[in-house]
Amino acid sequence: MSKNLYRVCKKSDLDEIIKNNFFKPICIIFTNKETDKELEDNIANLFKNISKQNTYCMHLLINLDNFIDNINFFGEMRKNAPNFIAYFKGKQISSISNLEKNGELFISSIKDIINKINTSYIQKLVVSFNQEDVNYNKKEEFNKKNNNQDNKTNENNENNEDNEDNEDNEDNEDNEDNEDNEDNEDNEDNENNENNENNEDNEDNLINNIKKRNVEPINKKEDTNKEDKIDLNKVDISKVDLNKVDLSKVDLSKIDLDQLSIDKKKEKLKALLELKKQVQKK
């Protein structure tokens, strides 16, 4: 027997075949002991030949007299055998009984039904495959577009990174130039500061020199003034012309009028007293 043609003797085997071929059409012919022997042989030959053509359908032969069915699921079939039933996805999609007791009509009808089921199933498969191809192509195109977009995005990102790197390099160069300029400015400032310090030192030296120059005459002048001051103890007052005396040059600290001799001439005392009064007034 081919892989799509079985003679089934147990309900459990039938359930397993239906389960394993859930998405395929399953065509079953039921016979019993009352079925004409010639008709039963013709049914067997039909399934043997048609199973080779309709490879997408499952073809099952069940003799209900030899079929082990503990729950008597096909009990009614025993009364009307031979019968034909077709299932797809667990649901009955077609059935026929030999009610007219015409074997040739029954076999030709089964053949037409099975061919239609097989053709319809193949068409559905083609549509499904084509749809899958379309979906696959769409998916491929979609993935291709996404890949192209991703590649463009990556290229743009790489370009942006390169541009950023270039900008960073330019910034670094600018920063280096700015640092060089700042260093040059700092050097210039340092030079200017040094020059200013030198100028300040020169100015200080100049000022010191000027001060020295100014101080020396003053000191000399002070010395001269000191020399010009008059020591009255050494002066003969009687011979002093008071009108010609510069009182600012009189050194009063060295005059002690109280110690003058009383026996000196009155003129000298008078002149001295007069001189003292004038000095005190000044």
The reply to whether 246 falls in a domain is yes
Which of 68, 77, 99, 71 has the alpha carbon at shortest distance from 32?
77
Tens of pLDDT along 50-77? 999 999 999 999 999 889 887 888 877 7
**Mean pLDDT for the chain overall:** 76
Examine the pLDDT at 223 and tell me if it is beyond 50: no
The reply to whether 117 falls in a domain is yes
Q: How many domains is the chain built from?
A: 2
The CATH number given to whatever domain includes residue 17 is 3.40.30.10
Q: Where are the beta strands (DSSP E) in 147-199?
A: none
Domain end point (choices 101, 123, 145): 123
The reply to whether 195 falls in a domain is no
Q: How large a percentage of the chain has pLDDT more than 70?
A: 61
What is the CB-side half-sphere exposure of residue 184 using CA atoms within 13 A? 6
The reply to whether 112 falls in a domain is yes
Within 8 A by CB and 6+ apart from 80, the residues are 97, 98, 99
The reply to whether 141 falls in a domain is no
Domain end point (choices 123, 149, 183): 123
Kindly report the CA angle at 171 between 166 and 172, in degrees rounded to 5? 95
The reply to whether 257 falls in a domain is yes
Domain end point (choices 85, 101, 123): 123
The reply to whether 202 falls in a domain is no
pTM of the predicted protein model: 0.50
Pairing verdict, β 83-88 and 91-97: antiparallel
Domain holding 259, by residue range, is 232-281
| pLDDT band per the 50, 70, 90 thresholds, residue 113 | very high
Whole-angstrom Cα distance, residue 6 to residue 3? 8
Q: Which range has the worst mean pLDDT, 100-104, 107-111, 165-169, 256-260?
A: 256-260
The reply to whether 134 falls in a domain is no
